[in-house]
Structure 1
Amino acid sequence: MQTQGPVLGLDFGTTNSVAALGRDGASPELIDFDAPDGRDAVFRSALCFWHDEAVRGGIASEAGPWAIAEYLEYPQDSRFVQSFKSVAASASFETASIFERRLRFEDLGRLFLDKMRARSGGRLSAAPARVVVGRPVEYAGSRPDAALARTRYDAMFAGIGAEIHYVYEPVGAAYSFASRLTEPATVLVADFGGGTSDFSVVRIAAPGAARRCEPLGHAGIGIAGDRFDYRIIDRLVLPMLGKGSSYRSFDKLLEIPRGYFADFADWSRLALMRNRKTMAELEQLRRNATDPDAIGRMIAVIEQELGYPLYDAVGRLKRALSSGEHAHFHFAGAGLTIEADVTRAEFETWIAEDIARIDQTVDRALAVAGVTAAQVDRVFLTGGTSLTPRVRAIFAQRFGEDAIASGGELTSIAHGLALIGQEDDLAAWSV
């Protein structure tokens, strides 16, 4: 290997972020980060802000599990931001209003990386020779602008290493999976994160080959775990907050604009609703609404910064439905209490449209690669949403249960990116 110094593989995820260090051709090591209850290789992609006159600028911040801990201690006096990777390619997102400050995507990203570095136990104190950053095949959002996302990523990651390279996230996972194989194979890698579902078809050569992995084709879609969360909120929560109800405008009765509910059900935008303009608009709607109490509950949830408890309740429901046929949903706060029994069959009905679009994206990945389903030897599933039974069923029905492999759902991408970073020439993988 020609690289001088360590190589960092960085999986900056919508929900979680993971880093791995490789050196001198050795197997990369995952970095464990400080956490309130120990150390963990998985660092939550979240930020929390609060006023503190003792720090420069008067606003203190934390990231990862520390952000969650700070939020839980002082929820109403803090601002909790999560899933902000989802707005990387959004031209409509300009800045996040954090108290009296306005932060761009790259400002949030650099702050997050600084906090991540500070919690690495010194493992990230020195700049690595190379940094290989994972990026989705298709960014999240209705009209994602990949060029804009690249500009923002460049600004976010500038200065953390001598060289910055971008590699599709499923290719990183493929490289990690290749280290487990002892014979050649054509592999479909399916990476399901919080914001995107990405697919790469890769031909893996026998161990010792000059070029172990050859990417054949890729496809992606901005649908994944956060969209499934959206479906749950849409069914169980938004009806209690006034969705579908009306307000009076002069002598007309109009439906309350759906954009407020779309923002509320999106983790990357919910926290950003707590700004002067949006809150004034909601208060005006509440005064003229046919069901003012419902809009009042929405205002209270936003003002009391209850996004994380809501996120946690939705996550618990999804996890329970991944292991059982039915589960109970519970959320309480801001004068709102929701109790609902949900079956796996109901949940799968809610996400049926999303599953169909994911299925079509698998078709597209195979077509781009020029490979038929019969020519795929193995399917490697990674990412937290890959644990959803209906997602796994897409591949079991197409390729057979015996062809499916998994493991390292949250860490395989970073591990593979660090392996790629140790190659002499990254041109074959960089995008």
Structure 2
Amino acid sequence: MTAKPAITLGIDFGTTNTVVAMAGPDGEVEVMRFAAPDGDLTTFRSTLGFQLHEERGRPPERIVEAGPWAIDAYVEDPLETRFIQSFKTFAASPAFTETVIDNRRYGFEDLLSSFLFRLRHHGGTAMERLPARVIVGRPVSFAGGSDARLALERYQTAFSRLGFTDIRYAYEPVGAAFFFARQLECAATVLVADFGGGTSDFSIVRFEPGPDGLRSTALARSGVGVAGDAFDYRIIDRLVSPELGKGSEYRSFDKILPIPQRYFAAFARWDQLALLRASRDMKDIRDIAKTALEPEKLARLIEVLDDNHGYRLYQAISRLKMDLSDAAAATFEFSAGSIHIQARVARSDFEEWISPELAAIEHAVDEAVERSGLRASEIDRIFLTGGTSFVQAVREIFHRRFDPGRIETGGEFESIASGLALIGHEADLDLWTERQAAGETAEI
């Protein structure tokens, strides 16, 4: 048994957003707010920016920023800002050892600790004195790599640099389950589905009232490394890339050749577009545009890269996904500079585009139920959380398997961090968390 601390911190470090929550001994949870340039936020974008700062009479230096401040720096000056997003996807990858910025080497743990220090700074007075204990969320399956132990070792190094002395790790859907369990009035078996930017995770937990409060028993878990980011790329690949030259051809001497597909792979993440502009490929794109059979499309591609329209493009993608969550069809519209791309999109078409990801998610859901040893009818409540849970095709996966009256949603962006903070007050904390420094691994 572990003594209860006065305050515990829960940190949901996500591929797209990071959320921080504090839980007091009375069970009350407060989600941290950040005074961002465009207004207060509870979701802090998981981004880093290294902006070149020059001042007369002094050598140039890189200023490190994170969250919306990093995005603003990048949009303002993309060529002089090294921008990094979705870096959580490198956490479990042995292939990623470091990146070099201005001749300084940054391992994953260096990127994460830089991000955490800026997050703490922007948290203001609420995060000036951090508690000793932090419960950090981890996905069931890390995206982009399979070495979970390596990921947690890197996490451990980064969070230790902030001064935490009791660092624990809990599965993200389990954190969401603890958030959801606060509203339970009787015993229930709960399946929690957590959809992030890079991973979709599932956990089944049994909650039972007891003399000391709600008792919890973990039954099963599963996960897959696909989620909202993969949906975004499917939309771009179908709607945008063909308007920028994908699938078209150019003339090389007496041959007709296809436009290289690699130019469009960068659209998987909008921050990669600035790297494409600064690469040798950019000269090739300009040369190909001179002999392209559809030169107007290559001209659009060049303008997107030259004028840094990537962020605006991804904002248009996000709007389309939201609109399709509420309607059977919606209009995609991307306008930037001289570029205007508009298309009517049926929800059924979108669902066809993302069918490989939907199949992977379905398999992971079935895997969790199978591992629990329960029938679908024996699961009392289903709680969907995370931004991608708004996608109707994702919700249908659960409606086909469970009584729709048992399915609930809520706290899409704050449930995990809040639940993690609550886990920090569990009497037998070792049942729900793992401590990387001790080499322990909690199994469900």
Task: Answer yes or no: same fold by TM over 0.5.
Answer: yes
SS at match of 1:58: strand
Which of residues 144, 155, 158 in structure 2 aligns to 1:156?
A: 158
Residue 147, structure 1, aligned to residue 149, structure 2 = yes
Letter in 2 for 1:41: T
Larger radius of gyration: 2
1:5-84, aligned counterparts within 5 Å?
5-54=6-55, 58-74=61-77, 77-84=80-87
Which of residues 232, 241, 244 in structure 2 aligns to 1:241?
A: 244
Task: Indicate if the aligned counterparts of 1:75 and 1:306 stay in contact, CA closer than 8 A.
Answer: no
Task: Indicate if the aligned counterparts of 1:83 and 1:267 stay in contact, CA closer than 8 A.
Answer: no
Greater Cα shift, 375-384 or 343-352: 343-352
Shift of 1:245: 3.9
Shift of 1:97: 5.9
From the superposition, tell whether residues 11 and 363 of structure 1 become closer, same or farther in structure 2 (CA, over 3 Å).
same
Residue 137, structure 1, aligned to residue 140, structure 2 = yes
Partner residue, 2:355: 352
Identity across the alignment (%)? 49
Letter in 2 for 1:405: E
Letter in 2 for 1:51: L
Shift of 1:287: 7.2
Greater Cα shift, 54-63 or 315-324: 54-63
Task: Indicate if the aligned counterparts of 1:178 and 1:213 stay in contact, CA closer than 8 A.
Answer: no
Shift of 1:108: 2.5
SS at match of 2:206: strand
From the superposition, tell whether residues 382 and 222 of structure 1 become closer, same or farther in structure 2 (CA, over 3 Å).
same
Letter in 2 for 1:122: T
Shift of 1:196: 0.8
Give per-residue Cα distances to partners, 1:194-241, cap 9 Å, x unaligned: 111100011111254566221111111111111110110010111123
Shift of 1:299: 4.8
1:154-193, aligned counterparts within 5 Å?
154-160=156-162, 161-193=164-196
Aligned counterparts of 1:309 and 1:13: Cα–Cα separation in 2 = 22
From the superposition, tell whether residues 250 and 372 of structure 1 become closer, same or farther in structure 2 (CA, over 3 Å).
farther
From the superposition, tell whether residues 220 and 259 of structure 1 become closer, same or farther in structure 2 (CA, over 3 Å).
farther
Greater Cα shift, 59-68 or 376-385: 59-68
Partner residue, 1:89: 92
Task: Indicate if the aligned counterparts of 2:271 and 2:310 stay in contact, CA closer than 8 A.
Answer: no
SS at match of 2:125: coil
Letter in 1 for 2:39: G
TM-score norm. by structure 1 comes to: 0.89
Partner residue, 2:374: 371
Letter in 1 for 2:266: D
Aligned counterparts of 2:157 and 2:274: Cα–Cα separation in 1 = 23
Aligned counterparts of 1:99 and 1:322: Cα–Cα separation in 2 = 43
Residue 229, structure 1, aligned to residue 241, structure 2 = no
Aligned residues: 430
Shift of 1:156: 2.7
Which of residues 315, 320, 323 in structure 1 aligns to 2:318?
A: 315
Letter in 1 for 2:408: A
From the superposition, tell whether residues 339 and 102 of structure 1 become closer, same or farther in structure 2 (CA, over 3 Å).
farther
Shift of 1:406: 1.4
Shift of 1:275: 4.7
Shift of 1:269: 4.6
Task: Indicate if the aligned counterparts of 1:97 and 1:275 stay in contact, CA closer than 8 A.
Answer: no
Aligned counterparts of 2:429 and 2:256: Cα–Cα separation in 1 = 60
Partner residue, 1:429: 432
Shift of 1:79: 4.3
TM-score norm. by structure 2 comes to: 0.86
Partner residue, 2:403: 400
Partner residue, 1:409: 412
1:177-326, aligned counterparts within 5 Å?
177-206=180-209, 208-209=211-212, 212-246=215-249, 255-267=258-270, 269-270=272-273, 272-273=275-276, 275-276=278-279, 279=282, 294-295=297-298, 297-326=300-329
From the superposition, tell whether residues 180 and 36 of structure 1 become closer, same or farther in structure 2 (CA, over 3 Å).
same
From the superposition, tell whether residues 163 and 285 of structure 1 become closer, same or farther in structure 2 (CA, over 3 Å).
farther
Could you tell me which runs of 5 or more consecutive residues in structure 1 were left unpaired when the two chains were aligned: none
Letter in 1 for 2:16: T
Supply the RMSD in Å over aligned alpha carbons: 2.9
Shift of 1:357: 1.7
Partner residue, 1:331: 334
Could you tell me which runs of 5 or more consecutive residues in structure 2 were left unpaired when the two chains were aligned: 435-444
Task: Indicate if the aligned counterparts of 1:80 and 1:305 stay in contact, CA closer than 8 A.
Answer: no
Shift of 1:145: 3.3
Aligned counterparts of 1:70 and 1:41: Cα–Cα separation in 2 = 20
Give per-residue Cα distances to partners, 1:361-392, cap 9 Å, x unaligned: 10011112222211110000000111111111
Greater Cα shift, 188-197 or 207-216: 207-216
Letter in 2 for 1:43: F
From the superposition, tell whether residues 187 and 50 of structure 1 become closer, same or farther in structure 2 (CA, over 3 Å).
same
Shift of 1:75: 5.1
